[in-house]
A and B are shown apart, each in its own frame.
Chain A
Amino acid sequence: MANPVLKPVAGILVLGALFALPRFVDSPYALHMMILLFMSISQGQSWNILGGYAGQHSVGHAAYFGVGAYTTMMLMHAQQVAPWLGAWAGVGMVAVVALAIGSICFRLRGPYFVLASIAVAEILRLSAINLTGLTNGAEGILATDLPPFKIGATVITDFSTKVPFYHAGLALALATITITYGVQHSKLGYFLQAIREDQDAAHSLGIPISRYKNIALVLSAALTSLAGSFYGVYVGFVDPPTVLGLDVSVQIMLICIIGGMGTLWGPVLGSLVLVPLSEALRSNLITEALVKAGVVNADSRTGLFLKENLSHAHVLLYGVLVVLVILFMPDGLMGFFRKLASRRQREAV
Chain B
Amino acid sequence: MAVFMQSFLSGILIGGVYALIGIGLTLIFGVMRIINFGHGDILMVGMYLTYVLFTWLHIDPFVSVLITFPLMFLFGGFLQKVFINRVLHAVAQNQILLTIGLGLVMSNTAMLIFTSDYKILTTSYSSSTLQVGGGVTVSTPLLISFAITAAVTAALYWFLLKTDTGQAIRATAQDREAAQLMGINVKRMSILAFGLGSALAGTAGALISPTYYIFPQVGGGFTLKAFVITVLGGMGSVVGATLGGILIGITESLSAVYISSGWKDVVVFVLFLLVLLFRPSGLMGKSRT
Contact = CB atoms under 8 A, between A and B. Distances in A.
Co-complex (A, B): yes
Q: Is the interface of B mostly helix, strand, loop or mixed?
A: helix
A250 B5 CA distance: 40
B96 A319 contact: no
Contacts of B91: 330
Contacts of A246: 220
Interface of A: 57, 59, 104, 107-108, 110-112, 114-116, 118-120, 122-123, 126-127, 129-130, 246, 250, 253, 257, 309-310, 312-313, 315-316, 318-323, 326-327, 330
Interface of B: 35, 83, 86-87, 90-94, 96-98, 100-109, 111-112, 115-116, 220, 224, 227-228, 231, 260, 262-263, 265-266, 269-270, 272-273, 276-277, 280
A129 B115 contact: no
Contacts of A114: 35, 93, 96
Q: Is the interface of A mostly helix, strand, loop or mixed?
A: helix
Contacts of B276: 104, 108, 112, 115-116, 119
A283 B247 CA distance: 45
Nearest to B41: A319
27 contacts: A57-B93, A104-B273, A104-B277, A108-B280, A110-B92, A112-B280, A114-B93, A114-B96, A115-B35, A119-B272, A123-B269, A126-B263, A126-B269, A130-B260, A250-B104, A309-B111, A312-B112, A313-B108, A316-B109, A319-B103, A319-B104, A319-B106, A322-B97, A326-B87, A326-B98, A327-B87, A327-B98
A130 B98 contact: no
B48 to A, nearest CB: 15
Nearest to A314: B108
A104 B35 CA distance: 21
Contacts of A104: 273, 276-277
Contacts of A107: 277
A257 to B, nearest CB: 6
Given A318-B104, A323-B102, A123 B112 contact: no
Given A111-B35, A129-B262, A327-B86, A312 B105 contact: no
Contacts of A319: 101-106, 108
A123 B269 CA distance: 7
Contacts of A118: 224, 227
Contact of B96 (A57, A108, A312, A313): A57
Nearest to A57: B93
B104 A322 contact: yes
A93 B276 CA distance: 25
A127 B264 CA distance: 11
Contacts of A57: 93, 96
Contacts of A318: 101, 104
Given A104-B273, A118-B224, A126-B266, 9 more contacts: A59-B96, A110-B92, A115-B227, A118-B227, A120-B273, A123-B273, A127-B266, A130-B263, A257-B97
Contacts of B101: 318-323, 326
B280 A330 contact: no
Nearest to B34: A111
Given A112-B276, A257-B97, A130 B266 contact: yes
